Structure 1
């Protein structure tokens, strides 16, 4: 079985930064405010803001909700 997790902390930071950029781009392309997207995802505004400011990283459940909302694969938010 292949190990699919990131072992290098630098790689993890790169993934987090990609997520931040892709999340912001998605939100802005839909003309959602942070409050609107947070409501659609069922999370607090402060939580979404902390994601966009790279102070915390989304938990898997929020990634799943984001994937369903956007009809995009989770991986698309973690790639360039």
Structure 2
């Protein structure tokens, strides 16, 4: 058995699209494990990061790093 890790969207119709390099697998049998993000856990992580930023606000270098991290976090959010 071969394991392939990928990220993809599940369509509203329930279809899972394979990236172009894996199209040769069409018609093959596969076992799947779906790992879904937990929105509650994601919000908890964001809250923890913001709390940490508030606790460390005295350092200007740290503030700049946290601003960059927050921008990256916002871009990562679906």
What TM-score does the superposition give when structure 1 sets the normalisation length?
A: 0.34
